[in-house]
Amino acid sequence: MTAPDIIKKLQPKLLEEGLEVDFIDLQGSVVNIRAKRVAPGVPVAFLVKAIAGTYRRYMPEVEDVCLAEYDPGESIGTAPSETFEPLFKHTPVAAGLGVKGTPVIDLAGLDRRLSIRALENFFRVWKEKSPLLGISGLHEDAPQRAAAKWAAVYRDEYREREIVSGSRWNIVMSNDDSELSAALRAQPEESMPGRVFLTDEDV
């Protein structure tokens, strides 16, 4: 898959979120894109982060995505601020980018505070969409401490925590054992970098 192909693959879902996106070019390890707001939707910063996460998955050599040109459109209302409170009133773009398998957030490289923010936002997106969720990157001290704190604070919002390894947990959301069959646990994982779930205000 080439750099332009990834944008073409994402275009339908991005349009659902009110953003028309085109590939400009690839300069070194940075993909340059142009975007135009065509309908109300989630903050553009979140969508750019989601696009960057998709590039890193399919093209590891891509380090970032740059919004080189942006047209906010005319008289189009958007979410009032780039926070996740208005964002989750819409269908999250992460849920619509062809994710198949168990959603897993990778906290590697984040400090404790950012890990907690990423976890909070990740679970808001996915807790009602998948009976099983994953957390990885826990071999690092800061993410591990953050995950332990999150698990304690939000204990009433999930069924149980499974320690898969020293760097990986499963969080069981569903109370229905039939949804947690061996087939479900064996399905592929869809790993997402924690930074995709952070806004500019978080960092």
> What would you report as the CA-atom Rg of the chain, rounded to the nearest whole angstrom?
17
* Domain at 99-197, CATH class: alpha beta
- Other beta carbons within 10 Å of 74: 6
Domain spans, the chain: 3-78, 99-197
Query: How many angstroms separate the CA atoms of 40 and 141, rounded?
Result: 40
pLDDT tens profile 16-68: 888 899 999 999 889 999 988 888 877 787 788 888 888 888 888 988 888 88
pLDDT tens profile 97-106: 445 578 899 9
Pinpoint the alpha helices (H) of the chain: 3-16, 44-58, 84-87, 112-126, 141-153, 182-186
Task: Tell the residue number behind the tokens 């910063």, with chain if given.
Answer: 45
Question: Model-level pTM?
Answer: 0.54
Of 3.30.300.130, 3.10.180.10, 1.10.3720.10, 3.30.70.1520, the CATH number of 3-78 is 3.30.300.130
